[in-house]
């Protein structure tokens, strides 16, 4: 008999739903253990060819999602997304938007100043 897992969040943001959809679309090419456990290395490898730049914090930082060193529980990979409750807050980046963190506008170089000669 397979273990049953409960969904770990009471509601999901549109960005989280987009990530779950992205994972589910690649379910056959991902290495998933015990029906919902993935290693950090496998997640990072899968993210290389995607719009995502890192494992989302709602997976990587949450202590109850840890399944040992470098392993995460992601039971949402087996769930019908239509059954999940969507939180419609508007905080943060939109799902799939490019990561612009750390890109500050470069200030133009100052105009060269002619040296002044003092006699």
Residue range 109-119: mean pLDDT, rounded: 73
CB neighbourhood size of 58 (10 A): 15
C-alpha span between 27 and 74 (Å, rounded): 12
C-alpha pair distances (Å), 30 with each of 26, 33, 36, 77, 96: 6, 10, 11, 11, 20
pTM of the predicted protein model: 0.65
Q: Where are the alpha helices (DSSP H) in the chain?
A: 14-25, 40-47, 57-60
36 belongs to a structural domain: yes
Confidence of residue 1 (pLDDT cuts 50, 70, 90): very low
Any domain includes 54: yes
pLDDT level of residue 106 (50, 70, 90 thresholds):
low
Examine residue 7 and state whether it is found in any structural domain, yes or no.
Answer: no
In a domain, 42, yes or no: yes
Give me the domain span that covers residue 69. Answer: 30-81
Give how many domains the chain has, as a whole number.
1
Least Cα distance to 58 among 46, 50, 66 occurs for 66
The pLDDT tens digits for 59-94 are 888 888 888 888 888 888 888 888 888 887 666 666
Does residue 88 fall inside a structural domain?
Answer: no
Q: Encode pLDDT of 17-64 as tens digits.
A: 888 898 888 888 888 878 888 888 988 888 888 888 888 888 888 888
Residue at 70 is within a domain: yes
Residues 3/34, Cβ–Cβ less than 8 Å: yes
Q: 65 lies in a domain?
A: yes
């Amino acid at each position: 008999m397979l273990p049953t897992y409960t969904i770990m969040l009471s509601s999901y943001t549109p960005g989280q739903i987009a990530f779950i959809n992205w994972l589910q679309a690649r379910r056959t090419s991902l290495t998933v253990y015990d029906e919902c456990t993935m290693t950090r290395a496998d997640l990072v490898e899968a993210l290389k060819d995607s719009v995502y730049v890192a494992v989302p914090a709602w997976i990587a930082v949450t202590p109850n999602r840890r399944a040992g060193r470098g392993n995460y529980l992601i039971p949402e990979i087996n769930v019908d997304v239509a059954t999940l409750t969507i939180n419609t807050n508007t905080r943060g980046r939109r799902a799939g938007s490019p990561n612009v963190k750390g890109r500050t506008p470069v200030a133009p170089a100052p105009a060269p100043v002619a040296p002044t000669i003092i006699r």
